[in-house]
Structure 1
Amino acid sequence: MSIQLREVSKSFGSFQALKSLNLTIAKGEFVAILGPSGCGKTTLLRLLAGFEQPTTGEICMNETQVAKPGFSLPPEKRRIGMVFQAFALWPHMNVTEHVRFPIRHHQETPPSIRDREQDRIADVLQMVGLSEHGGRMPHELSGGQKQRVAIARAIAAEPSLLLMDEPLSSLDAMLRMDMRREIQSVHRQTGTAIVYVTHDQGEALAMADRIVVMKDGRIEQEGTPQDIYLRPQTEFVAKFVAKANLVRGRWNNGIFVPMSSDGTVQWAGPEVAPYFQACGMYPVRPDQFELCPSGTAGIRGEVTNVQFQGREYHYHIQSEDGTWEICSPLSFRRGDNVSLRLLQTSGSRQEALTR
């Protein structure tokens, strides 16, 4: 199923939750809607599901209009599946009954699935790794198993679009990693288009084909995970997704001179967006800085905080330009004076550029 949103906005009284959104989702595409709380991402999901009507604009699925002001095709007629933040399992139904429910009760369930109900239930339970748990009740399941049941129920009727609203936020860190792999596996096996709402940058970067970053009801930037992370176009995307340090300075013919240097430090920026060049800034991710002992050519700073993270250390470095967050495998102590150099990608090796 392909989806088109054309000039879609949504207001609740005087509050405008979405502002003239234009977005296309291709058949079978995995799109993550990423943004902080209150940016409009859940409102967008509710519009796609048919729970809300747009204030302006239209939503089309497979070139058929399903929503406009004053009209919204109900959810049961859209061939969609939904996975909620809360598991939303029915306590009186076992795992098999949860999977059977949409097959029998969704109006758009294909006859080929209705006619082979038991085979479909077995296939779906195998897909999510619950073949041996069909008779269990929700209270007998772990958190990860409950989320698998929710996913199985959502895909049982073979939806053309799967909507997922922060589905992993209630799980612990290890379970989230496992469920990421499960969701990716389901996507590969079903080919269903997925719209995945999250505020977790790691989830979006790890799973999605395309990320749509939202802020204040608007689309701030959209692109592949690599584009969003490596080539942010605005200050918000640079800080929210890549956790970039915004170094101030001046640009001259594509070369940046940080204000906190003596003028001898110069950084090339062929992929830095025009926005940052116009604002006199250079976005530097925490892993793009190389920490060196004091006296090495570079920007001077002082270590003000250290966190050991196993493979690397996370530092807060106080420079003339402010406090920066930096990741490094090298060990320094709080109070150490250091020099910072920018790592520029050159083939598979990153090399420091200073002059």
Structure 2
Amino acid sequence: MSIQFIEVSKAFGSFQALKSLNLTIDKGEFLAILGPSGCGKTTLLRLLAGFEQPSTGEIYMNQTLVAKPGYSLPPEKRRIGMVFQAFALWPHMNVAEHVRFPIRHHKETPSHIRKNEQHRIASVLQMVGLPEHGSRMPHELSGGQKQRVAIARAIAAEPSILLMDEPLSSLDAMLRMDMRREIQSVHRQTGTAVVYVTHDQGEALAMADRIVVMKDGNIEQVGTPQDIYLRPQTEFVAKFVSKANLIRGRWHNDTFVPAGSDGTVQWSGSRVASYFKSRGLYPARPDQLLLGPPNQTSIQGKVMNVQFQGKEFIYHIRCEDGQWEICSPLHFQLNDKVSIQLAAGEQHLKYNHIGVFT
């Protein structure tokens, strides 16, 4: 199912939850809606589900109008499946009965599924890794198993689109990693389009075909995970997704001179968005910057905080431009003086032995 939002906005009284949004979701796509609390991502999902009507604009599914001001096609006629944050399992139904419910009660369930109900239940439980759990009650399941049941119920009637609202946020860290793989596997097996709402950058980057980054009811950037992470187009995306340090300085075409370097340090920035160049900023992720002993050809800094993370350390380094976050496998002590350089993969300009770029 392909979906189009055309100039869609949503207001709740004087509060504007969505502001003139345009978005296309392709058939079979895994789209993550990423943003902080209050950015409008759940409102967007509710509009897709048919729980809300837009204040302005139109929503189309497969070129059919499903929502506009004063009109909304009911959720039961949209062939959608939904997975909620809180599982929403019924305590009096066992696992198989949860999966059976949408098959029998969704008006848009395809006839071939209705006619082969038991086979479909078994197939879906196999898909989510619960083939032997059909007779179990919700109170007999772990958190991860409950979420698998919620996913199985959502896909049982073969929806055209699967809507997932922060489905992993109530699970612990290890279970979240396992469930990411399960959701990706279900997506590959079913080919159903997935719209996945999250505030977790790691989930969006790991799972999605495309990411929509939202802030204050607006879309900040849409792109592949690589585009969003490596090539942010706005300050918000750079800091929220890439955790970038926004380094002040001046630009000369594609060459950046960090503040406080007296022109002796220059970085190449051919892939940096014009947004940053116009504001005298260079977005440098913590893993783009290298630490070393003090020298005369790099930016100088001082270690203000150290966090050990196993394979690397996370440092907060104070320099003339402020405080930067930098990841490094090298071990420095609190208050050590260090040098800071751009990683070789990002740095195309090279010093020669007399400090001139070639």
Question: Could you tell me which residue of structure 2 aligns to residue 28 of structure 1?
Answer: 28
Aligned to 2:343, the other structure's residue is in SS state strand
Q: Distance in 2 between matches of 1:253 and 1:326?
A: 26
Q: Is the 8 A contact 1:8 1:21 kept in 2?
A: yes
Aligned to 1:287, the other structure's residue is in SS state coil
Q: Distance in 2 between matches of 1:27 and 1:248?
A: 42
Q: Is the 8 A contact 2:267 2:349 kept in 1?
A: no
Q: Is the 8 A contact 1:6 1:23 kept in 2?
A: yes
Alignment of 1:173-322 (within 5 A): 173-295=173-295, 297-322=297-322
1:344, distance to aligned residue in structure 2 (A) = 3.7
Instruction: Please list the CA deviations of residues 108-149 of structure 1 after superposition, one character each: whole Å capped at 9, or x if unmatched.
Output: 000000000000000000000000111110010000000000
1:295, distance to aligned residue in structure 2 (A) = 2.2
Q: Distance in 2 between matches of 1:327 and 1:111?
A: 55
Q: Is the 8 A contact 2:159 2:192 kept in 1?
A: yes
1:250, distance to aligned residue in structure 2 (A) = 0.3
Q: Distance in 2 between matches of 1:13 and 1:300?
A: 52
1:353, distance to aligned residue in structure 2 (A) = 4.8
1:313, distance to aligned residue in structure 2 (A) = 0.4
Amino acid across the alignment from 1:214: M
Aligned to 1:132, the other structure's residue is in SS state coil
Question: Could you tell me which residue of structure 1 aligns to residue 76 of structure 2?
Answer: 76
Q: Distance in 2 between matches of 1:316 and 1:90?
A: 48
1:352, distance to aligned residue in structure 2 (A) = 8.4
1:262, distance to aligned residue in structure 2 (A) = 2.7
Instruction: Please list the CA deviations of residues 303-344 of structure 1 after superposition, one character each: whole Å capped at 9, or x if unmatched.
Output: 000011011000000011011000001110111000000014
Amino acid across the alignment from 2:242: A
Q: Is the 8 A contact 2:58 2:68 kept in 1?
A: yes
Q: Is the 8 A contact 1:7 1:21 kept in 2?
A: yes
Amino acid across the alignment from 1:219: I
Q: Distance in 2 between matches of 1:204 and 1:4?
A: 21
TM-score by length of 2: 0.97
Q: CA RMSD in A?
A: 1.1
1:260, distance to aligned residue in structure 2 (A) = 2.5
Question: Could you tell me which residue of structure 2 aligns to residue 96 of structure 1?
Answer: 96
1:284, distance to aligned residue in structure 2 (A) = 0.1
**Residue segments in structure 1 that go unaligned for 5+ positions in a row:** none
Alignment of 1:112-131 (within 5 A): 112-131=112-131
Amino acid across the alignment from 2:9: S
Residue 66, structure 1, aligned to residue 61, structure 2: no
Q: Distance in 2 between matches of 1:262 and 1:310?
A: 36
Aligned to 1:260, the other structure's residue is in SS state coil
Question: Could you tell me which residue of structure 1 aligns to residue 329 of structure 2?
Answer: 329
Q: Distance in 2 between matches of 1:108 and 1:43?
A: 24
Question: Could you tell me which residue of structure 2 aligns to residue 140 of structure 1?
Answer: 140
Aligned to 2:287, the other structure's residue is in SS state helix
- The 4+ residue runs of structure 1 with deviation greater than 2 A are 350-355
**Residue segments in structure 2 that go unaligned for 5+ positions in a row:** none
Aligned length: 352
Residue 8, structure 1, aligned to residue 8, structure 2: yes
Q: Is the 8 A contact 1:229 1:238 kept in 2?
A: yes
Cα distance change of structure 1 residues 89 and 299 upon mapping to structure 2, 3 Å threshold: same
TM-score by length of 1: 0.98
Q: Is the 8 A contact 2:267 2:348 kept in 1?
A: no
Q: Distance in 1 between matches of 2:217 and 2:230?
A: 24
Q: Distance in 2 between matches of 1:227 and 1:64?
A: 31
Aligned to 1:131, the other structure's residue is in SS state coil
Amino acid across the alignment from 1:84: F
Aligned to 2:239, the other structure's residue is in SS state helix
Instruction: Please list the CA deviations of residues 27-74 of structure 1 after superposition, one character each: whole Å capped at 9, or x if unmatched.
Output: 000000000000000000000000000000000000000000000011
Q: Distance in 2 between matches of 1:11 and 1:253?
A: 42
Q: Is the 8 A contact 2:268 2:348 kept in 1?
A: no
Q: Distance in 1 between matches of 2:30 and 2:86?
A: 21
Identity of aligned residues (%): 79
Amino acid across the alignment from 2:341: R
Cα distance change of structure 1 residues 85 and 353 upon mapping to structure 2, 3 Å threshold: farther
Aligned to 1:122, the other structure's residue is in SS state helix
Instruction: Please list the CA deviations of residues 217-265 of structure 1 after superposition, one character each: whole Å capped at 9, or x if unmatched.
Output: 0100000000000000000000000000000000012100000213200
1:2, distance to aligned residue in structure 2 (A) = 0.4
Question: Could you tell me which residue of structure 1 aligns to residue 50 of structure 2?
Answer: 50
Q: Distance in 1 between matches of 2:296 and 2:285?
A: 21
Q: Distance in 2 between matches of 1:341 and 1:351?
A: 12
Q: Is the 8 A contact 1:267 1:353 kept in 2?
A: no
